Structure 1
Amino acid sequence: MQIYLAPMEGLLDHVLRDMLTRLGGVDLCVTEFVRVSGTLLPNKTFYRIAPELLHGSRTPSGVPVRVQLLGSDPVCMAENAAKLAALGPLGIDLNFGCPAKTVNRHRGGAVLLDEPETVHAIVAAVRSAVPAHLPVTAKMRLGYTDRSRKLECAQAIEAAGAAELVVHARTKTDGYRPPAYWEELPAIREAINIPLIANGEIWTVGDFQRCRTVSGCDDIMLGRGMVAAPGLARAAKGEGDASWSEVAPLLPLFWEKVEPEVLPKHRAGRLKQWLAYLRKIYPEADELFLRCRTLVDPAEVEQAVFPALDKQTAASHA
């Protein structure tokens, strides 16, 4: 059984990948997408999304990282994939699942699920452009507005040479609204001969187990559930959940590592974003979130959050 950490634009960047993989249980990460739109991207673009490329394409704790590309032009996608391949990723993933309106409007992400022939052309072009040893994989949803072409798309992806397929068990129209339709996945699994990884609405170990049972998939990709419960992958493997005393030390480290990545006015937002997920599981995170939810100035956030965090940690060790 393999557990993957999902790509989530605007949330699960390399800093949060670093934090979550420190707690164990994750076997593979996929980056947020690199947008390919008509030009050959400079190396710095790939390094910005995936600085792990500078370290063997692994997180600081050693978890392999695949880099995801998003675009609709097979030739341009292939050229950029070839350039990326020279930087040493441990795999290239292709995005056919992003539901964002701006992305879909420019023929990227989930909108391509109405065009299985285009999906095939993109995967085939990328596969032929990169070395044979490098895995080319894909992620899709059940469809754009409906599920009628899910098997066509999955088969197109396999036929074009993809090594694996992740399916987020909702359509673009479904967005992120519960439930995820795991019961749709067995038909896809039966229609292809490459590994199928299930994804969508897995927040607890119970969800994880039900998803495996209903979908018939051995391997699972975790997204928002892992952001809220950083020990979820570990717990799903029977290795014990993460206590707040394990999660708490990651917050000041996260705060430090976010600083060079964003403008000062956005730094507080990144911390509040993660705390908003953590508070679903940890009362201590709820306390910290309430202390800083109206603050923007980094110095005020530090004053409000980290002394309180120190008190929580001291109390837990008392």
Structure 2
Amino acid sequence: MSLQRAINPSAEYAHARKQALQWQVVLWSGEVTAAEQQSFEEWLTASDVHQQAWREIGVMQQKLQLVPERAVSLLKDKTYSAKRRRLLQMLGLAAVSTATVPIVRNSESWQTLAADYRTYTGQQEKIVLADGSQLMMNTATSVDIAYGEHERRLILRQGEIYISTAADESRPLLVQTRHGTAQALGTQFNVRLKPHETRVAVHQGQVKLRSENGLHSLLIASGKQAGFSNDAVTTLTANSNESAWLEGRLVAEQMRLGAFLDELSRYRSGVIRYDHTVANMVVSGVFPLLDTDKVLQSLLQALPLRIDYFSRYWVTVHAT
């Protein structure tokens, strides 16, 4: 059963993105009223399209290193309206430069929004497919289902999935990403789409990876993981807590704090920012994904940190 879709997802998303830019300027003003804060939170939670737009604005800001302090200094001026318009222009141009193309039917953004099944930030969902295969979707994930006469194909547009495949000798099950395909061979396995590669961890059976250009392939056995990109397949390694999310856990074993915060941000609406000093600290432990605020507070007990909440959706972690 597919999720209901808006009549025009591209127009809805474009409007949400414009609203997200406007809200960011309001939050950066440094003079947010309680009513404005409540209105923003109501807007953000009203739609997963709003959350998607807000996440992309955060990603754009990280790429540009456009920090709140700079925005506040721009807005704290007698000619507030003019400065506000200037900041909106800056953000609008940045959004266009990072996206480079409008959101159209064939674009990655549109396909992500229009996918058959989707989860929003922090949500996980279990789906039983038509053949009996079980699909677990992690946070912020989009999947299209393309079952045909000769094959069963899942197209992972965004995020991470765990699959327990049902037997069907006449129709192989494949997971496709922009980096290539993973073919299940009687399998339970995890697939995570990252910016530059797709990671696959096998828990039962085997999975065959094939790069997008078709020149590289690799067979992964149970207990192993590997990655593939458009033109390469990486070396096999042992599974390392790749599926801890299924139990609501984030496991860190001598992990750089920057990488840890990046992982945590996948489960939290908004932005977590940090500097190079914080990024190079090391953290270990098992953390609950259902309460990211609790995780952030637990870091204060283990590391010399200070956490500033610019809003519920903008957190900055500093070294003390």
Q: Same fold (TM over 0.5)?
A: no
The structure richer in strand per residue is: 2
What TM-score do the two structures reach when normalised by structure 2? 0.31
What TM-score do the two structures reach when normalised by structure 1? 0.31
Which one has a bigger Cα radius of gyration? 2
Q: Higher relative CO (CA 8 A, sep ≥ 6), structure 1 or 2?
A: 1
The structure richer in helix per residue is: 1
